[in-house]
């Protein structure tokens, strides 16, 4: 019974905070409140996808046209993180390297000869631009975020 009441209360608190009737800058009992700023942060996050208190994203989403320019101009390596059966079923970008998502961390730490033997391509250099791709963009974005925040990937930024 007590658990049911706590459960109801826990669902009520976020709704009260996000729909707070307290106007911004007001105070309760002589103390200022942070409830409106939290509510505004949540609304900003829902509309823009970026949290007010978060830092800017340091990775870049690449459009098709940008990818074509990158592949034509600079040294860019495209790593497809889909499973091999997905490549057979949905196709692939010519020149991309297929390294399934679960193998990327260990693959980028292999010796160049081992990488060439296993993936039939050259190991990306530290100066190369690396573009991760997948079918819907979820896995590649997850890997990009992990690459930018992980010690294993610092040399591949």
Specify the CATH number for the domain of residue 101.
Answer: 3.40.250.10
Over residues 68-83, mean pLDDT:
85
Residue 152 is predicted with a pLDDT of 52
Over residues 55-70, mean pLDDT:
70
Of the chain, the end-to-end C-alpha distance in Å amounts to: 53
Q: Is 37 exposed, middle or buried (0-12, 13-18, 19+ CB in 10 A)?
A: middle
136 and 90 fall within a common domain: yes
72 and 34 fall within a common domain: no
The distance from CA 109 to its chain's CA centroid, rounded to whole angstroms, is: 21
80-115 residue pLDDT tens:
999 999 999 999 888 889 999 999 988 988 999 999
d(CA 70, CA 78) in angstroms, rounded, equals 10
List 123, 134, 143, 147, catalytic entry: 134
Is 57 contained in some domain? Answer: no
131-154 residue pLDDT tens:
889 988 889 888 887 777 665 554
For the chain, percent of residues with pLDDT exceeding 70: 55
d(CA 73, CA 111) in angstroms, rounded, equals 27
Is 53 contained in some domain? Answer: no
- The band of 42, judged by pLDDT with boundaries at 50, 70 and 90, is very low
Is 87 contained in some domain? Answer: yes
For the question of residue 134 being annotated catalytic, the response is yes
110 and 36 fall within a common domain: no
69 and 146 fall within a common domain: yes
- The band of 44, judged by pLDDT with boundaries at 50, 70 and 90, is very low
pLDDT, mean over the chain: 70
- Say if residue 73's pLDDT is above 80: no
Is 56 contained in some domain? Answer: no
79 and 112 fall within a common domain: yes
Is the pLDDT higher at 32 or at 137? Answer: 137
Domain count, the chain: 2
Domain limits at 119?
64-156
- The band of 32, judged by pLDDT with boundaries at 50, 70 and 90, is very low
């Amino acid at each position: 019974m007590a658990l049911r009441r706590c459960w109801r209360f826990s669902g009520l608190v976020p709704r009260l905070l996000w729909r707070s009737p307290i106007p911004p800058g007001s105070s309760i009992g002589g103390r200022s409140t942070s409830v409106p700023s939290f509510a505004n942060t949540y609304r900003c996050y829902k509309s823009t996808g970026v949290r007010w208190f978060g830092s800017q994203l340091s990775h870049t989403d690449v459009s098709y046209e940008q990818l074509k320019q990158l592949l034509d101009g600079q040294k860019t390596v495209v790593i497809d993180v889909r499973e091999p059966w997905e490549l057979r079923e949905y196709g692939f970008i010519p020149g991309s390297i297929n390294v399934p998502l679960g193998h990327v961390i260990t693959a980028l730490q292999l010796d160049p000869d081992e990488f060439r033997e296993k993936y039939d391509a050259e190991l990306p250099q530290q100066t190369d631009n690396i573009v991760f791709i997948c079918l819907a963009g979820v896995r590649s974005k997850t890997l990009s975020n992990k690459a930018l925040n992980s010690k294993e990937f610092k040399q591949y930024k």
